[in-house]
Structure 1
Amino acid sequence: MFMSVSRAIDTLNEKIAAVVGWALLAAVVICTVNALIRYTFNASSNAWLEIQWYLFAAMFMLASSHTLKRDEHVRIDVIAGRFSKRTQVWIDLFGFLLFLMPISLLIVYYGVPFALLSIQSAEMSSNAGGLIVWPAKLLVPLGFLLMLLQGVSEIIKRIAFLAGKIDGHEFAKHVATPEEEIEAIKAANKL
């Protein structure tokens, strides 16, 4: 049962990351169009600049949980890599329970009222021609809520591994071989 919860959380974060990936394309297009207009017609707007950092914030906040799911989060692999897989899993559990979960809970706890206040007051950017601010502020608790959920999923997987219910591939980092990278490049070029 717990593994089905873990897989549902993983699927949710994979789908969100796939959608948020399009924010990168949107940011590049907006940046390019903004630069062309600015240098060609000597005109621009702060809204163009702000929407770029909104998109960057969305990419970072909403896809960070997917990074955790893929086991590509920051850690000291040089040290952890010297230990057995079982010890590495204990280190992960320790980190998730003592650091990730409490900090994420704290940020969600304080981030929700922070975002709600911005929504209720219809907060606007202080820059001339700027955008509404609440969407960016809402990304903070939303991103950390997704991180909390993914933390639960990762804890479930680590406990299942320690109990002998699953092997490490459920949460191991997938390192592409050079051949896989070449095939991925070829596939991307066919689009």
Structure 2
Amino acid sequence: MERLLSFSAKLERVSSAIGRLSAWAIIALILVIMSDVVLRRWFVIGSTKLQELEWHLHGFLFLMSLGWAYTRNAHVRIELVSERLQARTRAWIELFGCLLFLLPYVGAVLWFGYDYVSYSWAYNEASASPTGLPDRWIIKSAIVVGFGVLGIAALARLAQAIVFLFGRADQSERTPFSHVEPHLGDS
């Protein structure tokens, strides 16, 4: 179980580092949006490239931060239900959720995304708009990389759930499941 905890910590560090680093794209996104607004409002100049860059940066920011958000428990959950559950029940739900839903979904996106991205790379795909951005493969690659990072985070969370459920008490205490604040269902 110690190896599993260590493995989980390494995976979590990787996904967190990628998420924190890519979060800096928010500054570029803000600057691009501000430029687009200023050019449109005061100079009546519209730019397809700026608009496409906005959604590329937004997509990149979202995709590359998925794993980080997941490891920090910052994703959407049904709190009305989960907050009433005991820590062990939440850990079981996490374990089965990762095994039955999240990891297979990530695997499917990676499997089919590979062809999607390789086609884009092979043909040096560009925007459908004549004045749009070239190199569409960049943002399409972010889909595969982002889901890969989410898969890394899911494996880390799965390992933590296993340690919490089947490890010794001192090992279980080092997982995020033991640090969840007690709610109505916890005793």
TM-score in terms of structure 2 length: 0.87
CA–CA distance in structure 1, aligned partners of residues 17 and 85 of structure 2: 33
For structure 1, list consecutive stretches of 5 or more residues without a partner in the other structure. Answer: 176-191
1:58 aligned residue:
60
* Gap regions ≥5 residues in structure 2: 182-187
Deviation at 1:38, TM superposition (A): 2.3
**More displaced 10-residue stretch of structure 1: 7-16 or 117-126:** 7-16
Q: Percent identity?
A: 26
Q: 1:167, CA displacement in angstroms?
A: 3.3
**Which piece of structure 1 moves more, 79-88 or 37-46?**
37-46
Aligned-partner residue type, residue 69 of structure 2? T
Shift of 1:141: 1.2
Q: Which TM-score applies when normalising by structure 1?
A: 0.85
Is the CA contact 1:86–1:162 (under 8 Å) kept in the aligned structure 2? yes
Distance 1:170 1:58 in 2: 29
Question: Could you say which residue in structure 1 is the equivalent of 2:165?
Answer: 162
* Cα distance, 1:152–1:60 mapped onto 2, change above 3 Å: same
Residue-by-residue CA offset, 1:103-147 (whole Å, 9 max, x unaligned): 110110000110111011011101131112111111111111111
The match for 1:142 among 138, 142, 145 is 145
Specify the alignment match of 1:15 in structure 2.
17
- Provide runs of 4+ in structure 1 moved above 3 Å: 172-175
Check if 1:151 corresponds to 2:159: no
Cα deviation per residue 1:10-37 (whole Å; 9 max; x = unaligned)?
1111111111111111111111112212
Q: Which is further off, 38-47 or 122-131?
A: 38-47
Q: d(CA) in 2 for partners of 1:174 and 1:64?
A: 21
Q: Which residue of the partner structure matches residue 28 of structure 1?
A: 30
Aligned length: 175
One-letter identity of the residue aligned with 1:2: L
More relative contact order, 1 or 2 (CA 8 Å, 6+ apart): 2
Cα contact 1:50–1:130 (8 A) shared by 2: yes
Secondary structure of the corresponding residue to residue 100 of structure 1: helix
Any idea what SS the aligned residue of 2:30 has?
A: helix
Match of 1:77 in 2: 79
In 1, Cα distance between equivalents of 2:44 and 2:174? 54
- Alpha carbons of structure 1 residues 6 and 40: separation in structure 2 relative to 1, 3 Å: same
